[in-house]
């Protein structure tokens, strides 16, 4: 597993919901860029 995934798992376990939602949004946009580059 990549270290980024571990960071996300740690964020999920933390009670900071807003931070996790923002992180998810960044990940979604980032994955979209990667898919477009392919």
| Integer Cα distance of 7 and 11 in angstroms | 6
Q: Look at residue 1 in the predicted model and tell me its pLDDT.
A: 52
Q: Look at residue 6 in the predicted model and tell me its pLDDT.
A: 80
| Integer Cα distance of 29 and 25 in angstroms | 6
Q: Look at residue 17 in the predicted model and tell me its pLDDT.
A: 66
**1-38, pLDDT tens digit by residue?**
577 778 777 766 766 667 777 888 888 888 888 888 76
| Integer Cα distance of 25 and 34 in angstroms | 14
The domain segmentation of the chain, as residue ranges, is 3-37
How many CB atoms are located within 10 Å of the residue 17 CB?
10
């Amino acid at each position: 597993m990549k270290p980024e995934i571990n960071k996300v798992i740690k964020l999920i376990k933390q009670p900071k919901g807003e931070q996790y939602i923002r992180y998810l949004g960044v990940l979604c946009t980032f994955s979209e860029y990667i898919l477009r580059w392919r």
